Chain A
Amino acid sequence: MATMAQTREPRFPRQPCSGYPLDDNRGTWGIIVTICTEATLFVILFASYFYLANNKDRWAIDRPPKLMYAFIMLGILLLSSVVIHWGERQLKRERHVAARIALSITVLMGLVFLFVQALEYQDHWKSLTPYSDSYGSIFYTITTFHAAHVIVGLLILIYTLILPRFAPALRSPYRPYHVAALYWHFVDFVWVFIVGLLYVMPNIRVYGF
């Protein structure tokens, strides 16, 4: 293998190729457009929620969801966004160990989030299931869709964690940390809307401010 490398032309090379750096932004563009379409999916889900809410006689207004778990989960996710952002800044300064530690903490926080969501479901299930009515169906569908995105986000983060290197090295779209972080920020951001629309708003409508 080594001999092959020597027999070829010098590696990276000649004007103006050497004048331009390798493009490492392609994956970022890809994930941003992906986030656009995923965000639209959640917009559609929220729109369905409010469309079904026209059915006023059996809706969240009877039994607004409890807020405690949702706010704990919100705190976890927002903090995890801060942690991974800090990790990315460390990576920019080439502190790879710190970046990996930040990533590991983010993964742990994501797992805690899922654990708290399981507790929330367990509690919530006593009064509401997806089979009880349209409110239950859409409520559990939206939160489960989000949980699925958290799981996918965690898989991406774990995969990034076990990658041998983070730096934009030989391959062009190679900024895995950045791409993973962008997706994770998106997942966190969706939860803000879920808390606002699915948890807080029904409570305001029933109990006022």
Chain B
Amino acid sequence: MSTAEVAQRLKSTWETPKTLWGWFATVDHKEIGIRYLATAMAFLIVGGLEALVLRIQLSRPNMGLIPPEMYNQLFTMHGITMIFWYAQPILSGFAVFVIPLMIGARDMAFPRLNAFTYWVYLLSGILVYISPFMGQAPHAGWFAYMPYTGEQFSPAYGMDFYALSLILFTISMTGGAINFIVTILRLRAPGMTVNRMPLFLYSTLTISWVSIFGMPSLTAANVFMELDRRWGTHFFGIAGGGNPVLWQQLFWFFGHPWVYIIFLPATGMLSMIIPVFSRRPIVGYPWVAISTILTGAVGFSVWLHHMFTVGMSAMAMSFFSAGSMMISIFTTIQVFAWVATIWKGRLVMTAAMHYALGAVALLVIGGLSGVFTGIIPVDWQAHNTYYVVAHIHYVLIGANVFPVFAGFYYWLPKMTGRMMNEKLGKWSFWTMFIGFNVGFFPMHIVGLLGMPRRIYTYPAGLGFESLNMIETIGAFVLGIGILMSIVNLFYSLRRGAIAGKNPWNADTLEWSTDSPPEPYAHVHMPTVSSRHPLWDDYDEFDDPDDDRIYDEGRLTPVSDWLDAVPFAVSKMPKETISPLLLSLAMFGFFLALIFQMMWCALAGFIAMLLLTCYWLWPRVEGEEIA
């Protein structure tokens, strides 16, 4: 058979029908990855608009734009939207799209689970956004401390929405983590041994394990909270022998690893982008890989630094203070590896590289203010002030939003087939960078001046006025910068230059596919002989006898997790509607639980059960090729 015939055959095997049913039933990781990205961007915009309302309210003393309760609901929705429904899912989006291409597989290890986790993610976001329309949004900040969130002080449904939509969200994130782990450990192209894995795989693998061990804590905390609120138990109430600090322990045992979950893949993206635009391999590959893993591991022993003011033994606090400092060593190793790469390389200053360099700069500032808050006496001073707000925004915007935008400018040509406008991209970068620093750097100062976080207004004459006005202006400039990139996206979708296979002359396997990639990715499945497949002399796709086409159905090779020696062929499922139906049933189940309509919940549970049975039932595949 000629190559064209083979390609046609592969295409008919792998392509999702372009019908309404196909749109809902697709299990194609490229489609799902783009949906993750689009949904997370939508949440970024919603959360950003909420932030702008907050900033207007704070721009002048004694502003009366929104009442206090609404201010509480807005900053809470801003926080949970950004931290849960934007920051991690957007990285999942990149990972879902890029990783199978990067490792030379034809899909994720569990394609239907992949679709399911996307739908659950989307529906959990919809679930929590029902509450503002009832006027009862969660109102206790993203970490929802007890006892304020108990039934006594928060009788509205807001905190129930918080607890149950987060449980639904953890289901999605845990499913995604399982999928990433099995994909990365089993589906790598022959020859892609662990010491040749692109660094983005290291960071995604690390955070997937961190999710596996971190998310249950959030689930347990939210179950306890819901039981306490509506079912009369005594986990957190002192009167019943409970302990409100239990909530903080559980939440932060999840919460701090979560910071690394939304931070490490972004550094992994930087470790991919910076070497490509420095035109050389990254300096210190093994050190970056090891420090990524160690950040994830040590990330589990720092959570108490969120609670230094709770009142604990000096021994416990010193231990966790030291752990927090230790983390900064691992981050510093990565930063120095990037700096050395830039130093030894020849820079190509694309828009993506602008964002990457900006991210490194902001990460250093945010990291340093983090070291300060890790020191116990400084933490006591700065606790619950705008200093902490400045710190988390430098870390999260510096080490998440900027790398994500770098990733957009880098990988969007692969997704859409068209180049983004470089000039508009650089304008967007400088607007965002200046806007961000103008908006958030003064927060360090107002924080040290003593302005507490989460207050809906402040009196005049405390020295906060001008700085808060500057912050508001900066926040709007940041918003305009983000808007410019969104305009750039829609412009490039129609008018952008055709990207071609490898517009950046990059080194990893995803750049050997068409842009946008065909549903089967590669005709000949690649083999790999170095860390930089497309930069070496070895031909990854050399296959004279057509041994590695795998066109007898949806197949992808399976290799050993350590040495990537192939030993089996994995059969992939076809598109199916059951992930969507199951996630809808789950949505109904959780919605019923919020309002304690137990018969509806039981109906939802039975529906989930039947749909799972339908999903897993072995189909007679005689008429297909097995």
Contacts and interface: CB of A to CB of B under 8 A. Distances in A.
A61 to B, nearest CB: 13
B178 A34 contact: yes
A9 B213 CA distance: 46
B557 interface: yes
A41 interface: yes
A36 interface: yes
Interface stretch (B236-244, B316-324, B346-354, B580-588): B236-244
B547 interface: yes
B66 interface: no
Contacts of A170: 571, 618, 621-622, 626
Contact of A131 (B215, B233, B609): B233
A17 B569 contact: yes
Contact of A163 (B235, B249, B618): B618
Contacts of B233: 130-131, 136-137, 141
B567 interface: yes
Contact of B616 (A2, A135, A159): A159
B232 interface: yes
A141 B223 contact: yes
A164 B223 CA distance: 37
Contacts of B619: 171
A20 B185 CA distance: 18
B558 interface: yes
Contacts of A55: 241-243
A170 B220 CA distance: 39
B298 to A, nearest CB: 17
Contact of A171 (B240, B545, B621, B623): B621
Contacts of B142: none
Size bracket, chain B contacts? 35 or more
A29 interface: yes
Contact of B212 (A9, A11, A33): A33
B601 to A, nearest CB: 14
Contacts of A11: 552, 625-626
B311 to A, nearest CB: 13
Contacts of B570: 22-23, 26, 172
Contact of A23 (B249, B546, B558): B558
B186 interface: yes
A73 to B, nearest CB: 23
Contact of A20 (B224, B545, B569): B569
Interface stretch (A44-52, A85-93, A103-111, A189-197): A44-52
Nearest to A48: B246
A137 B227 contact: yes
Contacts of B550: 17
A21 B568 contact: yes
A142 to B, nearest CB: 10
B178 A22 contact: no
Contacts of B186: 23, 26, 29
A120 B193 CA distance: 53
Which of the listed residues A1, A37, A48, A155 has the most CB atoms from chain B within 10 Å of its own CB?
A: A37
A23 B626 contact: no
A174 B618 CA distance: 8
A21 B177 CA distance: 27
Interface in B469-501: none
A26 B182 CA distance: 8
B407 to A, nearest CB: 26
B532 to A, nearest CB: 26
B242 A52 contact: yes
Nearest to B182: A29
B196 interface: no
A166 B512 CA distance: 40
Given A9-B552, A44-B253, A51-B243, A20 B219 contact: no
Contacts of B557: 20
A139 B570 CA distance: 44
Nearest to A13: B552
B264 to A, nearest CB: 18
A127 interface: no
Contacts of B213: 36-37, 40
Contacts of B571: 22-23, 170-172
A75 interface: no
Contacts of B609: 155
A51 B568 contact: no
B566 interface: yes
B578 interface: no
A1 B552 contact: no
A169 B393 CA distance: 52
A133 B235 CA distance: 8
B351 to A, nearest CB: 38
B548 interface: yes
Contacts of B546: 14
Contacts of A130: 227, 231-233
Given A29-B182, A134-B240, A137-B242, A12 B558 contact: no
A141 B227 contact: yes
A5 interface: yes
A26 B227 contact: no
A14 B569 CA distance: 12
A78 interface: no
A4 interface: yes
A126 interface: no
B576 interface: no
A163 B109 CA distance: 23
B252 to A, nearest CB: 12
A171 B618 contact: yes
Contact of A45 (B220, B231, B568, B616): B220
A169 B626 CA distance: 9
A12 B552 contact: yes
Contacts of B215: 37
B411 interface: no
Interface string B117-143: 000000000000000000000000000
B47 to A, nearest CB: 27
B325 interface: no
A54 interface: yes
Interface string B528-549: 0000000000000000011110
Given A51-B246, A141-B223, A22 B568 contact: yes
* Highest count of chain A CB atoms <10 Å: which of B178, B186, B234, B250: B234
A33 B552 contact: no
Nearest to B174: A37
B235 A134 contact: yes
A49 to B, nearest CB: 10
Nearest to B113: A30
Interface of A: 1-2, 4-5, 8-9, 11-17, 20-26, 29-30, 33-34, 36-38, 40-41, 43-45, 48, 51-52, 54-55, 58-59, 130-138, 141, 155, 159, 163-165, 169-172, 174
20 contacts: A2-B623, A5-B623, A23-B186, A25-B558, A25-B568, A29-B181, A29-B182, A30-B110, A40-B216, A41-B220, A44-B217, A48-B220, A52-B243, A130-B227, A130-B233, A133-B234, A137-B233, A141-B233, A159-B613, A163-B618
Given A20-B566, A133-B241, 14 more contacts: A8-B625, A12-B626, A15-B547, A20-B558, A26-B109, A37-B174, A37-B215, A131-B233, A134-B241, A134-B243, A136-B234, A141-B227, A172-B569, A174-B618
Closest 5 CB pairs of A and B: A172-B571, A41-B216, A23-B568, A137-B233, A134-B241
